[in-house]
Amino acid sequence: MPQKLAAGNWKMNGQAADLAEIEALLPAVQAARCEVLICPPATLIDRMRRAAGSAPLAIGGQDCHAAKSGAHTGDISAAMLKDAGASHVILGHSERRQDHGETNASVRTKASAAIAEGLVAVVCVGETLAEREANRTLDVVGGQLSGSVPDGISAEMLVIAYEPVWAIGTGLTPTLDQIGEVHDALRAALAGRFGAEAGSAIRLLYGGSVKPDNAVEIFGVSNVDGALVGGASLKAKDFGAIIAALGTAG
C-alpha cells in the first residue's frame, strides 16, 4: 500500500501574510499519519519552505516549463522549482489545460522534465460535465492518463490526481461509486502499462470540492490514496481536518 498523500493546491492565492496559515497547520503536519504537500504560487515556495522549518511538509510548484532554462518569458523550469525548495510539481491541471491550452503531449513533456530534475510529477486528469453526461468519462480520463504520463517512470516519481472539471470549486462531487469506478480504471491502466507492482504503488488522489465534511467518506473509497485539495487547503483548520481524516482512513 502506498503512503497516503494530502496535497493542497493554493492556485493563484496567497501572499506573505498567508504564511500564518502554514504556521497554524504545523501541529497537524507533525501529527500526520500521511504525507503532506502544499503547492503555493511560485512566489511563496521559498518562504513556505522556511516557514515549515523542520516539519515534514513537502512544497510543490503548480506548473513548470519543459526546458531547463532559456528564452521563455514568464515561465519557470523544474530546476528552478527544485532550487527554490520544491519537491513536487502539479502538471496538467484542468485550469492550465483550459487557460493555457495545455495538451496531453505538453503535459507529458513537462512531466519528463520534472522527473528528470528529481521532482515528483502530480499529473491531473478529469472529465468535463458534458463528457460525463455523454458517458465518456473513462475514455477521456484514460486518454489523458496514457497521453500525459511519460514512459519509464518509477512509481515514487509519479502521482495521479483525478479531478472532474465540474467538481472543482463548485461544491459538487461525484458519488462514491463514480469516484471508485474512475480510480479502479486508473489503477488498472497503470498496472497494465507499468506492471502490477509499480501500478499499485503510484498514488491516486481525488480532487474536486474535498472538504472536512466529505473527506472521510471519500478516503474510504478503494484506490483513493489521498486528495488534491483547492479551496479547503487555504485554511489551516480545514486542511488540518482533511489531513487527520486521511490519517485514519483504511
- DSSP code of residue 223: T
**For the chain, first and last CA: distance in Å?**
10
Q: Which of 93, 95, 102, 117 is catalytic?
A: 93
Q: How far is the CB of 215 from ligand 13P (least distance, A)?
A: 11
Residues 94-133 that bind ligand 13P (CB under 6 A): none
CA distance readout (Å), 55 to 28, 103, 194, 220, 247: 10, 36, 33, 27, 16
* Residue closest to ligand 13P (Cβ): 230
Q: What are phi and psi of 121, to 5 degrees?
A: -90, 120
- What amino acid is encoded at 136 in this protein? R
In the list 4, 9, 58, 240, the residue contacting ligand 13P (rule: CB under 6 A) is 9
**Contact between 144 and ligand 13P per CB under 6 A:** no
Give the x/- contact pattern for ligand 13P in 189-218, rule: CB under 6 A. Answer: ------------------xxxx--------
Q: How far is the CB of 100 from ligand 13P (least distance, A)?
A: 15
C-alpha grid cell, residue 191: 498496472
| CA atoms of 163 and 98, how far apart (whole Å) | 14
Annotation marks residue 93 as catalytic: yes
Q: How far is the CB of 99 from ligand 13P (least distance, A)?
A: 13
**Contact between 14 and ligand 13P per CB under 6 A:** no
In the list 5, 230, 239, 245, the residue contacting ligand 13P (rule: CB under 6 A) is 230
C-alpha grid cell, residue 212: 472536512
**Contact between 61 and ligand 13P per CB under 6 A:** no
The set of residues, in sequence order, having a beta carbon less than 8 Å from that of 226 and lying 6+ positions away, is 4, 5, 6, 7, 34, 35, 203, 205, 206, 219, 246
Closest CB to ligand 13P among residues 37, 202: 37
Query: Can you list the alpha helix ranges (DSSP code H) found in 32-124?
Result: 45-52, 78-84, 94-99, 104-116
Q: Give the footprint of ligand 13P on this chain (CB under 6 A).
A: 9, 93, 163, 168-169, 207-210, 228-232
Catalytic residues: 93, 163
